[in-house]
Each structure stands twice: as C-alpha cells, then as structure tokens.
C-alpha cells in the first residue's frame, strides 16, 4: 500500500524533528556525520516503504521515534541513532547484515545484529528464549548501547500499545515489567523506568490507573500550596549562600503510588509521601561535589528537623547503577514528613539519563577504580562463561541481578563490597570467590560469629569462615539472592545431577510404596505437572537434590482418586456454537474445595481449572488463566500475581486473557483465603473473633496463629469463603470487634 501525501508529510516532519534533536545534542559535528545519519534514514524509509503499523501510521515513523528517544531522552550518539533507524531492517525486510556492513560499517552491523537477536527473545518458544537472550548479552557485555536502544524501542511500543489487541497487551506489558523495567533500572534510566511502569499499569489495570491519576490531579492545588510554603525558607538560605540551583517538587509515579497502596494495603489518602523536593545545583570547582552536597543538606536541616533513620548517602558510595545523591526526610510544616534530594547537575544528568551520561562524565569526574556499572557488566560476562543447566533458569538468575536496592559491606581489610538489599553471608562469600562460597560454614560479622544465612546490613564488616568438608546444598538456593551465588550453587549441584537422578528415583519409588502405589507413566505425569517439571529426569533430580521434598505426596495421590464433580462457582471460557454442550447436572454437598477446580467444560471433556497456590484467587477476583502445555489444565491466577507476570512474559501464547475467563455463580463452594490482623490484646478477644467467624458467619477455619506481646497481638487466619463479597463482609464485621486495629486479606503477590 503506497504512502499518501499526508503520510509523506508526517515522515518529513518526524525526520526534521530528529535532525533538530541531533543538532541540539551535537550528535553530528561534521558533514560526514550528517551524511551517515541521513543515509540510515533514507535506507530505513526505502526498506519499510508502504508498510504500516497496526495504528495505521507509516512503519518508518517507529524507527525515527526510537532514534528520537535515544538522542533526546537518553543522550546517545550518532552510531546509536543510525542503529536505531535500522533496528528492524534486517528482521523485517530483504536487507541483510552484509548489506548493512557494506553500506555503513562492521560496528553498525554488529549493533543491528544484536537488536535483531533481541527481538527473538520474546518471539521464540520458551525453550529458545533464554538462549537468544544469552547471545544478546554477549553483545551487551561488549556494547551496552544495544540494550539501551532496545529499551527505547520498547518504550515507543508501549507508548503506542493502545492499537494492540488485549491479549497482546497482556503479553507485552508482562515482558516489560519482567525484564525491560529492571534493565532500565540497572542502566540508570530512571525516567524511562518510571514511564514504562506507568504504561504497564495503564493497560493492565486501567480503572485503578485512572482513579489514582484523578486523585493526584484533584489534590494538586492543595499540594502546590504546601510545597511553596515548604520551599520558601530553603530558597532564602540558599540564595543567601549564593548557590546556583533549581528546586522542584516531583510527584511519585502512578505505578509507585499504586504499588505502595497494594503492598501496605492502604487507601490513596494514607500515602503521605506523594512527592519529593529535589535541589539540583551547579557545582563549583572547589570544594568537592560531595562537600557542597553536605553544605546544602546542612542549610535544609538548619530549617527543618531531619528524621534520624532516613538519611541516604549515595554521594560517598554511589548505587551500583551509578546513581549519586543525598536523600533526607525532614519534618515540614503541619507535622508532615518531606523527602529532600540534593544533587549536582552532573549527578542529575546521570540519574535521569543513565548509562550515556554516566560514561560522558566518568573519566573526567570519577576515580579510575571499577564502578558499579562496570562491575555489573563484568558479572554479566562471568555469568555467560558459566551457563546453567536450564536456559530459562539462566534468564531468571540474570534478572535477579537487575532489580535490587544496594547495601555496602566491608571485608576484614576494609574493602567495600556492594550487594543487593537482602543479601546474606553466603552471597558475600560467593562475591569474594566461588571457592569461598562453596566451603562457607559461617562468618564473623562485626567480630561476632553468625551463620551463612544471616542477612547483611550496610556497614557490616564480614570475615567468612570456611571448612573443606562443607559443600553447597540445594536449600541454599532459597537463601541467596545474587545471580552469581545462585549460579555457583546450581553449577555444583549440576555436577551431582546423575547421582541425584538415581537417588531421586529410588526415593520416589520408596515413598510411593508407602501408599501401595507403583511408579508408572500416569503417576509420573501427575507429579511432573504438580511439581512443574518438564520431564521425569528433572523430577528425579529435584527429588534427589532435596528441592522437591514430597511432603504433600499423599494429598497429590488422593486428588484424582477422591475427586467429585461439583456444581458451584465456575470458571467459564466462551465457546463457539459448535462447541456448546449441555451442562451435566451432578450434585454434591461439599463445603470445601480441593486445589483442583472443575468447570462445565471439564465435565464435558474440556479443560480443568486449578487455583494457583501463589495468589489464592477467589470468586470476584479479577483473574487470568495460564494453560499448562503439559497437562492442558488452566492455572488460574489473580491478575496482579507476580508469578503470572513471569508466565505471561515467557509463555505469552498460553495466557488466557481476563475477558475470556469469568466466574459464574452456581452452587457455593469454599475457597481458601488468608487474613492478617493486629490490635490491642484483651481477655476474650480471640473467643469473640472465632465466634464471629464460625457461628455468626458459619465459616470454616483452616488455621489460626496469634502472638501477643506487650499488650499488642498480631496473627493470621486461614479461612474458607465463598467469594470476595462474603470475605469483605466478614472483614467489615471483624473490624467492629473491640480491640481490632487492622484486618486485611493477605494478597500473596
């Protein structure tokens, strides 16, 4: 389909916009540079001629927009602009890498090759995805610009996601949250990370997104008045001290507000840190930037009292993604805590534009020692040199290294080591050396002997204690959080895999014999599905390594033998007229529900539904289905479930979207839900609580756990409810019990 005159005008306007951006950013300094970029534009325009995006606009607009993001929002140079303009040419047209190398250069061809492979990461089958990604990482470790351009590509795709069908939106947003957001964070692209998160929320949870956005807008006038009142005395003292600065207030992103509301189970009105004050100043040649940051901090805290536990010094030791700033929370007017961030212009450039700005300033302003980003790239290279057994396992391990807050701990000789927040002694040991991690038995933390499972805090001094007869165990995979430690443990366990398979098969046969069950194909298929194993060797190996404990073997064996077909709340997938069958009218008086739920389709030979244990959906929750490729069963997750995001990212074609899977009320059956509560302890409060649940609401309790200390009690209750409405009604009545301060459903996500 030929482009219209309006199409040609739009393309010309976008090209002029890119030229203007390159001029302002001084991307092209000579005529040769301009010819280099123009050649890429005309080739891209010719290659994509007549092709349109789903939105209807000419396809070449997309690579121009990606190049604009690379220049204007990230600050990349001419080679990146050229690679961005050409990033889809080899994948989607008849041009080859050889053509790109001949017309441009081997370097441009290499970058385009990396971008082409990156496109295959999420388009491939799950078994191939991580292998593609491993190849891309080889390019990343050599030229990180490839990943940055791909992030720019994803950002433009997310900005135009409204043109895609809903099932594609689920897949693309899941991929984005699962991998691209953490990558943007690790590469210091804060502004892009926040926008990607907001766009993901906008398409996955549009009602919640619009509700929070509206509330932010509604409170703007009141918020601005407070901000002006807060900043006025700071301006006076900074002006008096002749600082050249800009002071602004930044409102939290919609996604971060929603995430906090969900994490703490609080309404919008109780999110008090909606904004932060940012002071960005022009640093003088002398004294040091660090000293000048502390001088401004002192000016602020002379006016407002700082919170003693909320000072964050990323000036002395920057974050591993290059971020530098001083953060302090101070008590402002009306008794409201306000976060104040202090940065130089250089620090602000790095914070907002990430890698490109980081490298621009590095040699002029930073020490010659390896910094956080270089350290991370080194770890990527190490990970590539030691591949794990499973490609998807490799991808998961790599992702672990992306999205963690940092702590800084010290060796006995005082060398600082940066680790993710939540890291243990074992993570530290592997960071020092694989052999030390493999034989670690404990550590001296600040001269006190502690186990390897101990979580470290910033400032700890750690000396690892080793023993030759100590070796990695599978349970340590649950202890460590760094990709290096996980990979080293997995590599060691892999060396024992053959023994594990033999031991696991023997252990399974012995365990089955206790229930007079013979190991056969039917039993194996059932167990492989239950334990999410792709084949019997994986099942045996995990049993032999202790990763699968068979603690719930009895209940799994009973699941099919005792299952009855129930008529109750059902999950429905719309069917065509030819597929419709008459409901089978089977009655059952059961009041509790097994893990496996059948629907009208399963009774007629269609799919069966399984409630995901990770998020425990109940009728009334918004749900999404995942069709298990091995068993054909549909695993039902809440739409907010973290595990679902991973599944949708890696197995997008197996996702059944929210619109196609619905609850339909039939006969009431109970679903497991967990409730957390706390309050003021008094005699009889537990009796009142259990009476309300079991007598007034006739609800069965599965378990109750309550602890009391210093007049305060807290606990959790597992109960069986019919749907979200009955659960909410119960929670409303629990709140009325004298002494109950808070009660909420545990979301398990």
The alpha carbon torsion through 320, 322, 325, 330 (nearest 10 deg) reads: -40
Point out the domain boundary residue: 561, 584, 609: 561
**Residue 211: its pLDDT value, please?**
94
- From edge to edge, which strands make up the β-sheet containing 337-344? 245-251, 275-281, 337-344, 326-331, 312-313
> Please, are residues 127 and 139 in contact by the beta-carbon 8 Å criterion?
no
Q: Are 383 and 486 part of one and the same domain?
A: yes
Residue 384 belongs to domain with CATH number = 3.10.20.30
Whether pLDDT at 164 is above 90:
no
**Residue 566: its pLDDT value, please?**
35
Q: Are 468 and 616 part of one and the same domain?
A: no
Confidence category of residue 9, pLDDT binned at 50, 70, 90: very high
Please say whether the dihedral angle defined by the alpha carbons of residues 420, 425, 429 and 435, taken in this order, is positive or negative. negative
748: phi then psi, degrees, rounded to nearest 5: 60, 25
Point out the domain boundary residue: 451, 473, 495: 495
**Residue 166: its pLDDT value, please?**
81
Q: Are 647 and 729 part of one and the same domain?
A: no
CA 727 to chain centre: 29
Residue 346 belongs to domain with CATH number = 3.30.460.10
* 8 is an active site residue: no
Q: Are 590 and 552 part of one and the same domain?
A: no
Strands (E), 104-201: none
Whether pLDDT at 128 is above 90:
no
Q: Are 463 and 525 part of one and the same domain?
A: no
Residue 75 belongs to domain with CATH number = 1.10.3210.10
Tell me the average pLDDT across 286-290.
92
Report strand pairing: 623-627 vs 609-611. Answer: unpaired
In 219-344, which residue ranges form alpha helices assigned H by DSSP? 220-240, 254-264, 289-303
Confidence category of residue 499, pLDDT binned at 50, 70, 90: confident
pLDDT digits (tens, 9 = 90+) for 294-325: 999 999 999 999 988 888 898 988 887 778 99
In a domain, 514, yes or no: yes
Confidence category of residue 356, pLDDT binned at 50, 70, 90: low
**Residue 665: its pLDDT value, please?**
54
716 burial class (0-12, 13-18, 19+ CB within 10 angstroms)?
middle
Q: Which of 276, 129, 78, 111 is nearest to 190 (CA)?
A: 276
Which is higher by pLDDT, 90 or 609? 90
Q: Which of 359, 355, 329 is nearest to 342 (CA)?
A: 329
Lowest average pLDDT, out of 37-41, 196-200, 368-372, 446-450, goes to 368-372
In a domain, 310, yes or no: yes
Q: Are 14 and 133 part of one and the same domain?
A: yes
Lowest average pLDDT, out of 77-86, 379-388, 501-510, goes to 379-388
Residue 721 belongs to domain with CATH number = 3.30.70.260
Whether pLDDT at 129 is above 90:
no
Q: How many domains would you assign to the chain?
A: 6
**Residue 568: its pLDDT value, please?**
39
Confidence category of residue 36, pLDDT binned at 50, 70, 90: very high
Lowest average pLDDT, out of 131-135, 201-205, 681-685, goes to 131-135
Which is higher by pLDDT, 34 or 355? 34
Which is higher by pLDDT, 406 or 70? 70
In a domain, 194, yes or no: no
> Please, are residues 692 and 733 in contact by the beta-carbon 8 Å criterion?
yes
Of the residues 57, 92, 658, 688, only one is catalytic, namely 92
Tell me the average pLDDT across 486-497.
81
Lowest average pLDDT, out of 29-43, 581-595, 729-743, goes to 581-595
**Residue 586: its pLDDT value, please?**
27
Whether pLDDT at 693 is above 60:
yes
Whether pLDDT at 11 is above 80:
yes
The Cβ of residue 715 has, within 10 Å, a number of other Cβ atoms equal to 16
pLDDT digits (tens, 9 = 90+) for 384-438: 555 544 555 555 556 555 655 677 888 888 888 888 888 999 999 999 999 999 9
In a domain, 173, yes or no: no
**Residue 437: its pLDDT value, please?**
93
- Token readout for 640 is 């907010």
Of the residues 57, 91, 537, 676, only one is catalytic, namely 91
In a domain, 169, yes or no: no
How many whole angstroms separate alpha carbon 435 and alpha carbon 467? 11
Tell me the average pLDDT across 621-625.
85
Domain holding 729, by residue range, is 671-745
Tell me the average pLDDT across 105-127.
72
Q: Are 508 and 628 part of one and the same domain?
A: no
Q: Are 158 and 13 part of one and the same domain?
A: yes
Tell me the average pLDDT across 71-76.
88
**Residue 562: its pLDDT value, please?**
40
- Token readout for 164 is 């895609």
> Please, are residues 158 and 172 in contact by the beta-carbon 8 Å criterion?
yes
- Token readout for 236 is 């006076």
Tell me the average pLDDT across 100-109.
92
Q: Are 489 and 581 part of one and the same domain?
A: no
pLDDT digits (tens, 9 = 90+) for 547-564: 888 888 888 877 654 443
Which is higher by pLDDT, 210 or 640? 210
pLDDT digits (tens, 9 = 90+) for 502-533: 888 888 888 888 888 888 888 888 888 888 88
Average predicted confidence (pLDDT) for the chain: 80
How many whole angstroms separate alpha carbon 274 and alpha carbon 214? 14
Q: Which of 38, 320, 26 is nearest to 185 (CA)?
A: 320
Whether pLDDT at 745 is above 80:
yes
In a domain, 196, yes or no: no
- Token readout for 530 is 């239950």
Backbone angle region of 114, left / alpha / beta, with phi > 0 → left and psi within -120 to 50 → alpha? alpha
* Rounded to 5°, angle at Cα 206 from 204 and 208: 105
Whether pLDDT at 626 is above 60:
yes
Q: Are 244 and 356 part of one and the same domain?
A: yes
Packing angle of the helix pair 78-85, 31-47 (nearest 10 deg): 10
Please say whether the dihedral angle defined by the alpha carbons of residues 483, 486, 492 and 496, taken in this order, is positive or negative. negative
Whether pLDDT at 369 is above 50:
no
Whether pLDDT at 599 is above 60:
no
Tell me the average pLDDT across 439-464.
88
**Residue 589: its pLDDT value, please?**
31
Q: Are 298 and 253 part of one and the same domain?
A: yes
Q: Are 243 and 112 part of one and the same domain?
A: no
**Residue 197: its pLDDT value, please?**
94
pTM of the model: 0.67
* 153 is an active site residue: no
Strands (E), 357-508: 406-410, 416-420, 440-445, 448-450, 462-466
Point out the domain boundary residue: 612, 631, 664: 664
In a domain, 185, yes or no: no
Question: Helices (H), strands (E): how many in the chain?
Answer: 31, 21
DSSP label of 424: B
716 DSSP β-pair partners: 676, 705
In a domain, 319, yes or no: yes
Which is higher by pLDDT, 15 or 558? 15
pLDDT over 70, % of the chain: 81
| CB crowding 617-632: b at 16 or more within 10 Å, else e | bbbbbebbbbbbeebe
The alpha carbon torsion through 550, 551, 556, 562 (nearest 10 deg) reads: 140
């Amino acid at each position: 389909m030929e482009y219209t005159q309006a199409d040609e005008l739009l393309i010309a306007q976008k090209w002029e916009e890119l030229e203007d951006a390159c001029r302002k950013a001084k991307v092209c300094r000579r005529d040769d540079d301009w010819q280099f970029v123009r050649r890429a534009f005309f080739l891209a325009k010719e290659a994509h001629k007549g092709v349109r995006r789903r939105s209807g606009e000419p396809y070449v607009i997309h690579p121009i927009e990606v190049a604009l993001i690379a220049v204007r929002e990230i600050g990349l140079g001419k080679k990146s602009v050229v690679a961005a303009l050409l990033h889809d040419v080899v994948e989607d047209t008849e041009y080859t890498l050889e053509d790109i190398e001949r017309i441009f250069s081997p370097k441009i061809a290499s970058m385009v090759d990396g971008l082409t492979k990156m496109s295959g990461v999420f388009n491939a089958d799950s078994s191939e995805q991580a292998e593609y990604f491993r190849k891309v990482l080889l390019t990343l470790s050599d030229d990180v610009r490839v990943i940055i351009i791909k992030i720019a590509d994803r950002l433009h795709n997310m900005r135009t996601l409204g043109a895609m069908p809903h099932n594609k939106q689920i897949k693309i947003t899941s991929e984005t949250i699962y991998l691209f957001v953490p990558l943007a964070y690790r590469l210091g692209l804060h502004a892009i990370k926040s926008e990607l998160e907001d766009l993901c929320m906008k398409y996955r949870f549009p009602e919640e997104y619009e509700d929070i956005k509206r509330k932010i807008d509604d409170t703007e006038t009141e918020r601005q008045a407070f901000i002006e009142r807060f900043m006025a005395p700071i301006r006076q003292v900074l002006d008096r001290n002749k600082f050249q600065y800009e002071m602004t207030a930044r409102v939290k992103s919609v996604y971060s507000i929603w995430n906090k509301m969900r994490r703490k189970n609080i309404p919008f009105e109780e999110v008090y840190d909606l904004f932060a004050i940012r002071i960005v100043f022009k640093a003088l040649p002398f004294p040091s930037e660090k000293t000048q940051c502390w001088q401004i901090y002192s000016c602020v805290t002379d006016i407002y009292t700082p919170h003693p536990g909320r000072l964050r010094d990323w000036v002395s030791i920057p974050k591993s993604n290059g971020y530098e700033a001083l953060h302090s929370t101070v008590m402002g007017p009306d008794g409201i805590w306000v976060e104040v961030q202090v940065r130089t212009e250089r620090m602000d450039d790095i914070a907002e534009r990430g890698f490109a700005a980081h490298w621009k300033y590095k040699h002029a302003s930073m020490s010659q020692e390896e910094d956080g980003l270089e350290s991370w790239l080194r770890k990527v290279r190490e990970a590539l040199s030691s591949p794990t057994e499973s490609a998807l396992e490799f991808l998961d391990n790599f992702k672990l290294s992306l999205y963690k807050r940092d702590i800084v701990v010290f060796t006995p000789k005082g060398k600082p080591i940066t680790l993710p927040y939540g890291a243990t002694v074992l993570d530290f040991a592997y960071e020092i050396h694989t052999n030390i991690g493999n034989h670690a038995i404990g550590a001296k933390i600040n001269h006190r002997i502690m186990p390897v499972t101990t979580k470290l805090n910033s400032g700890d001094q750690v000396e690892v204690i080793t023993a030759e007869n100590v070796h990695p165990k599978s349970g340590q995979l649950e202890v460590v959080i760094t990709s290096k430690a996980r990979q080293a443990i997995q590599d060691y366990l892999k060396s024992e895999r053959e023994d594990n398979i033999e031991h696991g098969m023997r252990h399974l046969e012995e365990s089955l014999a206790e229930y007079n069950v013979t190991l056969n194909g039917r039993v194996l298929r059932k167990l492989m599905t239950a334990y999410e194993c792709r084949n019997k060797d994986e099942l045996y190996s995990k049993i032999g390594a202790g990763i699968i404990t068979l603690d719930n073997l009895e209940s799994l064996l009973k699941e099919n033998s005792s299952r009855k077909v129930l008529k109750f709340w059902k999950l429905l997938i719309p069917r065509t007229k030819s597929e419709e069958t008459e409901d089978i009218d089977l009655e059952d008086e059961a009041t509790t529900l097994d893990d496996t739920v059948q629907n009208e389709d399963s009774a007629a030979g269609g799919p069966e539904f399984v409630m995901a244990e990770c998020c425990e959906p109940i009728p009334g929750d918004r749900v999404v289905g995942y069709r298990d490729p091995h068993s054909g069963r549909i695993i039902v997750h809440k739409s907010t479930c973290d595990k679902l995001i991973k599944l949708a990212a890696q197995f997008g074609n197996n996702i059944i979207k929210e619109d196609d899977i619905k609850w339909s009320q039939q006969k009431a059956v109970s679903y497991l839900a967990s409730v957390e509560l706390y309050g003021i302890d008094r005699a009889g409060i537990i009796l009142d609580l259990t009476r309300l649940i079991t007598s007034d609401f006739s609800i069965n309790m599965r378990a109750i756990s309550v602890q009391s200390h210093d007049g305060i009690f807290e606990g959790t209750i597992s109960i069986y409810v019919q749907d979200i409405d009955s659960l909410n009604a119960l929670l409303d009545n629990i709140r009325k019990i004298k002494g109950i301060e808070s009660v909420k459903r545990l979301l398990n996500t």
